Amino acid sequence: MLGRTLSRVALTTLIGASSFTLLACGSVPATGDVASAKQAMELAIGCKTDDAVAASQRASASGGIGGGLGDVERVVILREAGRSSQADAARAAYLSKAGAGSAAELDKTTADGVERIRAERAKRTGKRNC
């Protein structure tokens, strides 16, 4: 169940913020390090923000779907932790990439991702915030 929740959060985050131009052209993107992207969300739920950011960076470096997940998740994780200046920098870096999607899509995905992290944390611990 936990794996499904994390996968749903991670994939919803990526799909909501990215335009898959490669898929529209009939190409299939590389997978990349999706496991690190999933781990990043788990660590964020567990209030281990620095470790979550590191996992998202590993995913980002892998490219492919995992890379896209890592890029978007880093924005979500930092925003959820209240690290506004770092989140803003991660947001700007993501939006500067080719095929990143719109700022409005990313902002909605970020808000949804923050809510999903907090809801899952509340289910596990009874507290929405760290």
Q: What is the per-residue pLDDT across 86-96, written as a single tens digit (0 to 9) for each?
A: 999 999 999 99
Number of domains in the chain: 1
Report whether pLDDT(54) > 70.
yes
Q: Which of 20-34, 51-65, 90-104, 112-126 has the lowest mean pLDDT?
A: 20-34
Higher pLDDT residue, 56 or 63?
Answer: 56
CA distance 97 to 3: 29
Q: Within a domain: residue 128?
A: no
pLDDT tens digits, one per residue of 60-86: 888 888 888 899 999 999 999 999 999
Report whether pLDDT(1) > 80.
no
Q: Within a domain: residue 86?
A: yes
Q: Within a domain: residue 25?
A: no
Over range 100-118, report the average pLDDT.
95
Q: Which domain holds residue 108?
A: 2-15+31-122
**Per the structure block, which two tokens stand in for 113?**
């991702």
Q: Within a domain: residue 42?
A: yes
pLDDT at 28: 52
Q: Within a domain: residue 35?
A: yes
Task: Identify whether the C-beta of residue 3 lies closer than 8 Å to the C-beta of residue 58.
Answer: no
Confidence of residue 27 (pLDDT cuts 50, 70, 90): low
Report whether pLDDT(124) > 50.
yes
pLDDT at 17: 40
Report whether pLDDT(12) > 60.
no
Task: Identify whether the C-beta of residue 52 lies closer than 8 Å to the C-beta of residue 83.
Answer: no
Q: At what angle do helices 34-45 and 103-125 cross, to 10 degrees?
A: 60
- φ/ψ region of 96 (left if φ > 0, alpha if ψ in -120 to 50, else beta) reads alpha
- Rounded to two decimals, the pTM is 0.77
Q: Within a domain: residue 20?
A: no
Q: Within a domain: residue 127?
A: no
CA distance 46 to 22: 34
